Amino acid sequence: MVSILYIAVAVGLTWYNPYDSTYGSCAVGFSGVLFSLKVVLNYGSAGHSTFFGLTLPTKYLCWFELILISLISPHSSFLGHLCGIGVGFMFVAGIFEPIFKITDQLGIDEAFSRLQEQYNYDENAPAPQQPRGRMGGMGRMGMMGMGMGGFRRGYF
């Protein structure tokens, strides 16, 4: 959803200002999703967090991080992170509830559950084997027998 919102905003900005370079740039990565998860997890939080010595309300921390990241790394995707925050607020507002109801009616959750039952890797995985004896290596390492550079005498 973050990418869809990013494309919609980029097209809108290009329509508003044809000389804007937002349409020609891209936002690749997972950081927008992380920003949306921050919003979802901290939306109703009444707590405070300390970030770089500043005590801020936890629910506003994503905005501070957006500005801080943009100042520290100016070539990071400000718009991608902003769209992540927007998707988080849309999720909290319940905009995606109709999509969740449709997936429930289609039985997609049940299909994934059946698929998981067929390919449950935990049940089908072989039992772990216990190591026999020493795992290998150079033997006991300690202060005795250490030469220059941390290598044991006699090997190099």
Active site residues: 31, 81
> 81 near 31, Cβ under 8 Å?
yes
Going by C-beta distance under 8 Å and a sequence separation of 6 or more, which residues neighbour residue 84?
2, 31, 32, 33, 34, 35, 36, 39
* Nearest partner of 32 among 70, 81, 87, 93, judged by Cα: 81
